[in-house]
Amino acid sequence: MFEVLVYLFENYYHAENAPDQGALTRRLSAAGFESEDIHNALDWLRGLAEENPEHVLDEEFDTHNSFRAYSDVERTKLSKANWGFLMFLESAGVVTPVLRELILERALALRDEPVPRDKFKVIVLMVLWTRQGDVDSLILEELLPDGEPRYVH
């Protein structure tokens, strides 16, 4: 599933009009991805796109200093390294509190426990891409798997 997400990012990063779901599924299949991975990736992205009122936070939340206590489930789901990475991104202003909550929600949607670092980075990448549309090139290099520079189409 994560390979599909990275492929989508690399191939549709600057795309004004992404293909409809049927065409996208066919393109991903033609690119060699398994049907189950395609389905899981597109479902995961739909979950990110949903405007669920339980997960939508007031924009004012982004402008105030606050304290966030994490549940046992959240602490179990993410490793200390992932927590540190998320706190770093938030303190650097890359991730707002609202985006942090979306990242956590999408990480909790995975079956992996704890979420591996490479998968967590893809989650962060996808949240930033879908919510902000642009990702700083230095952050982009850090978020793409294996830390390898990529040439976005």
Query: Which pLDDT belongs to residue 145?
Result: 66
The CA distance from 3 to 16, in Å, is: 22
Query: Which pLDDT belongs to residue 75?
Result: 87
Query: Which pLDDT belongs to residue 152?
Result: 47
Q: What is the pLDDT along the chain (153 residues), one digit of tens a residue?
A: 889 988 888 887 666 666 778 888 999 999 999 999 999 988 888 887 775 545 455 555 555 566 788 888 888 889 889 999 999 898 888 888 889 989 999 998 888 788 999 999 999 988 888 877 667 767 777 777 664 444 444
Supply the pTM of this predicted model.
Answer: 0.77
Question: Cα 98 to the chain's mean position, in Å?
Answer: 13
Query: Which pLDDT belongs to residue 86?
Result: 92
Alpha-carbon distances of 23 from 29, 36, 41, 49, rounded to whole Å: 10, 16, 15, 19
CA angle 145/88/100 to nearest 5° reads 80
Residue of 102, 91, 149, 152 whose CA lies nearest to 128: 102
Query: Which pLDDT belongs to residue 133?
Result: 67
Question: Cα 20 to the chain's mean position, in Å?
Answer: 20
The domain limits of the chain are 2-147
